[in-house]
Amino acid sequence: MLPYIAGSCDRLGAKHSYNMTLEPFNEKDMAFSLKQQVKEIHAVYYGTLYITEFNVWYWEGGLFKLPIDLTPSIKIKKVVTGHKHFCILLDNGNLYCFRCNEDKQLGLEITLGTEYGELDLKEKLNKPFVYFNVSDVHALYYGTIFMVNNIVYAMGRSSQYQFGINVDKVPSYILELPKELSLVGNTILKYITSSHTIMLLSSDGIIYATGTNLNILTAPYEGFKALEPFYSNGWKIRNAWSSATGTFIQLVTGEVYYGGHNTDHACFGVSNANETISFSLCKFLSHKVIYDIIGLYSLIAICEDGVYVCGNSYCRQLDNDNVGCVKEPIKHELLTKLVKQGAKLTSSFRVMTVYFPVDKTKIFKRKLYNNQGYNDLNIHCLT
């Protein structure tokens, strides 16, 4: 099935003179021609990634082919985006980090001659920072963390204790994880990253956080500490999600709390959200079965009973009818239908994309006869 795109034409590369509502991707409507079938589309902050069978293309004021080669056996595992950078993790463990390194969010610069910051966009995109044997990656607004052999490496801004230290720019740092997670049977279930905070959800239902953010934490957490008021109240946590404006915490009892402000109303109806309140009950999401919450200022909640949206829609990336903020959460009927058909959603700043993933190629052994007799032949089948 065709992917769908919505939002800012500048960031999508569309020829429209207006911002796009959610509609199927049509190459004739674009300012570029790939002449290859688009398999996936991912929204990043300043542009959009278009994935074909063998190539990765990036649109930001022009079309750029990224130096990543895909094969039937090597696919994209994950795409993450921060404010001015984005990273692509392949399922062979290679991690490619692109675009901006002003906060060392891509890592340590090893360049000869011209400084990386003086390169133009095309030159930067042709010189990604590459890491190997990576199992997972997450982006902060101004930073990146990734995992190699159970060690968590951090790069970027830590002037608000994002990495547990007060350092302006960190090109390489090994995170010191909470001692509680070294106990037998207590593991990290999920990493939750936001602009100034890293949070770890443990298998014992506790979130450990480091960093400072007036939207979430009332005081700096100088290293990982159990997140309040949940820890002191003995409230066990089932799941958590972060946006550019705050964090959603879901308890095992079903209640959902939101800590943050109501910029662009990206808070699913928490009317008293502001920069002074730590966490407030989010009645709208409470007791829903939530699969995921994605987005920065435009939020999409993927739930068992449907897909709900709220927040920034100035480029019509959320709401087909109105330009502006979706102040009260609404059920998006088209997205609900597409998700039920197996679609994957991505959301960034003023862009939303929808695509239908194809499972990785599986190799089956088959006995085939030729003039030398019966031989094994690897047959590639898409499942």
Mean pLDDT of 261-286: 83
pLDDT at 330: 95
Residue 314 CB: number of other CB atoms within 10 A? 16
Residue 192 pLDDT level (bands cut at 50, 70, 90): very high
pLDDT at 158: 94
Q: Measured on CA atoms in the order 1, 290, 47, 143, is the torsion positive or negative?
A: negative
Mean pLDDT of 275-282: 76
| Residue found under tokens 């390194």 | 101
What percent of the chain stands above pLDDT 90? 71
pLDDT at 276: 52
Residue 213 pLDDT level (bands cut at 50, 70, 90): low
Q: Is the pLDDT assigned to residue 109 strictly greater than 80?
A: no
| Residue found under tokens 């984005």 | 86
Per residue in 5-30, pLDDT tens?
Answer: 999 999 999 998 889 999 999 999 99
Q: Is the pLDDT assigned to residue 355 strictly greater than 70?
A: yes
**Residue among 125, 168, 170 at smallest CA distance from 152:** 170
pLDDT at 262: 83
Q: Is the pLDDT assigned to residue 301 strictly greater than 70?
A: yes
Torsion of CA 195, 142, 138, 91, to 10 degrees: 160
Q: pLDDT averaged over the chain?
A: 87
Helices (H) and strands (E) in the chain, counts: 4, 30
pLDDT at 383: 26
Mean pLDDT of 323-336: 92
Residue 378 pLDDT level (bands cut at 50, 70, 90): very low
Instruction: Record the pTM.
Output: 0.89
pLDDT at 274: 66
Mean pLDDT of 277-304: 93
Beta bridge partners of 344: 355
Please give the distance of CA 243 from its chain centroid, rounded to a whole number. Answer: 10
Residue 44 pLDDT level (bands cut at 50, 70, 90): very high
Torsion of CA 198, 179, 136, 221, to 10 degrees: 10
Mean pLDDT of 127-150: 96
Q: Is the pLDDT assigned to residue 311 strictly greater than 50?
A: yes
List Cα–Cα distances, 39 to 134, 193, 328, in angstroms. Answer: 24, 27, 33
pLDDT at 98: 97
Per residue in 81-106, pLDDT tens?
Answer: 999 999 999 999 999 999 999 999 99
Residue 185 pLDDT level (bands cut at 50, 70, 90): confident
Please give the distance of CA 226 from its chain centroid, rounded to a whole number. Answer: 24
**Residue among 159, 148, 291 at smallest CA distance from 212:** 159
Q: Is the pLDDT assigned to residue 368 strictly greater than 70?
A: no
Please check whether residue 180 is in contact with residue 211, taking contact to mean a CB–CB distance below 8 angstroms. Answer: no
Please check whether residue 97 is in contact with residue 106, taking contact to mean a CB–CB distance below 8 angstroms. Answer: yes
Measured CA to CA, the distance from residue 200 to residue 203 in angstroms comes to 10
Q: What H or E segment, with its residue span, contains residue 233?
A: helix 230-233
Name the token pair of 282: 């989010």
pLDDT at 114: 60
Phi first, then psi: what are they for 263, rounded to 5°?
A: -55, 125
Residue 191 pLDDT level (bands cut at 50, 70, 90): very high
Please check whether residue 111 is in contact with residue 101, taking contact to mean a CB–CB distance below 8 angstroms. Answer: no
pLDDT at 379: 31
Comparison of pLDDT for 324 and 58, the residue scoring more: 58
pLDDT at 25: 95
